[in-house]
Amino acid sequence: MHPKLEKVLQETDHRNPGEPEFLQALTEVLISLDPIIERHPEYADYGLLERLTEPERQIIFRVPWVDDHGEVQVNRGYRVEFNSALGPYKGGLRFHKSVNRNIIKFLGFEQIFKNALTNQGIGGGKGGSDFDPHGKSDNEVMLFCQSFMTELYRHIGDKTDVPAGDIGVGGREIGYLFGQYKRLTGVHEAGVLTGKGLGWGGSLVRTEATGYGQVMFARFMAEDRGESLEGRTCAVSGSGNVAIYAIEKAQQLGAKPVTCSDSNGWVYDKDGIDLDLLKEIKEHRRGRVSDYAAQRPSAEFHDSGRVWAVPVDVALPAATQNEIDANDARTLVKNGCKYVVEGANMPSTPEAIDIFQAAPGVSYAPGKAANAGGVGTSAFEMEQNASRSRWSFEYAEERLEAMMRDIHTDCLATAEDYGKPGDYVYGANITGFRRVADAMLAHGVI
Give percent of the chain with pLDDT exceeding 70. Answer: 100
pLDDT band at 400 (very low <50, low <70, confident <90, very high): very high
What pLDDT, on a 0 to 100 scale, did the predictor assign at position 153? 98
Q: Are 36 and 1 in contact (CB under 8 A)?
A: no
pLDDT band at 204 (very low <50, low <70, confident <90, very high): very high
Mean pLDDT of the chain: 97
What pLDDT, on a 0 to 100 scale, did the predictor assign at position 233? 98
pLDDT in tens, 425-437: 999 999 999 999 9
For residues 142, 145, 149, 152, the Cα torsion angle rounded to the nearest 10 degrees is 180
Q: Are 164 and 90 in contact (CB under 8 A)?
A: yes
Q: What is each CA distance from 425 to 3, 166, 368, 443, in whole angstroms?
A: 21, 23, 9, 27
Rg of the chain over Cα atoms, rounded to whole angstroms, equals 21
pLDDT in tens, 142-171: 999 999 999 999 999 999 999 999 999 999
The length of the chain, given as a count of residues: 446
Q: How many CB atoms lie within 10 A of CB 366?
A: 28
pLDDT in tens, 209-265: 999 999 999 999 999 999 999 999 999 999 999 999 999 999 999 999 999 999 999
Q: Average of pLDDT values for 55-62?
A: 98
What pLDDT, on a 0 to 100 scale, did the predictor assign at position 231? 98
What pLDDT, on a 0 to 100 scale, did the predictor assign at position 274? 98
Q: How far apart are CA 421 and CA 163, in angstroms?
A: 35
Residue type, 3: P
For residues 107, 136, 158, 213, the Cα torsion angle rounded to the nearest 10 degrees is 50
Is the pLDDT at 16 greater than 90? The verdict is yes
Q: Are 5 and 49 in contact (CB under 8 A)?
A: yes
Closest CA to 399 of 88, 191, 119, 113: 119
Is the pLDDT at 1 greater than 90? The verdict is no
Residue 368 annotated as catalytic = no
pTM, full prediction: 0.95
Q: Are 174 and 156 in contact (CB under 8 A)?
A: no
Q: Are 375 and 91 in contact (CB under 8 A)?
A: yes
Q: Average of pLDDT values for 35-57?
A: 96
Sign of the alpha-carbon torsion through 34, 39, 41, 47? negative
In the chain, what's the furthest Cα-to-Cα distance? 62
H helix or E strand, kind and range, residue 164? strand 161-164
Give percent of the chain with pLDDT exceeding 90. Answer: 99
Report phi then psi at 288, rounded to 5.
-115, 160
Question: Looking at 4, 126, 256, 368, which residue is catalytic?
Answer: 126
Q: What does DSSP say about strands 161-164 and 72-83: parallel, antiparallel, or unpaired?
A: unpaired
Strand order in the sheet with 265-269: 259-262, 265-269, 299-302
Is the pLDDT at 40 greater than 90? The verdict is yes
pLDDT band at 110 (very low <50, low <70, confident <90, very high): very high
pLDDT in tens, 330-353: 999 999 999 999 999 999 999 999
Is the pLDDT at 286 greater than 90? The verdict is no
Q: How far apart are CA 19 and CA 227, in angstroms?
A: 40
Beta strands in 99-160 (DSSP E): 123-129
Q: What is each CA distance from 255 to 37, 246, 247, 336, 390, in whole angstroms?
A: 41, 11, 9, 16, 31
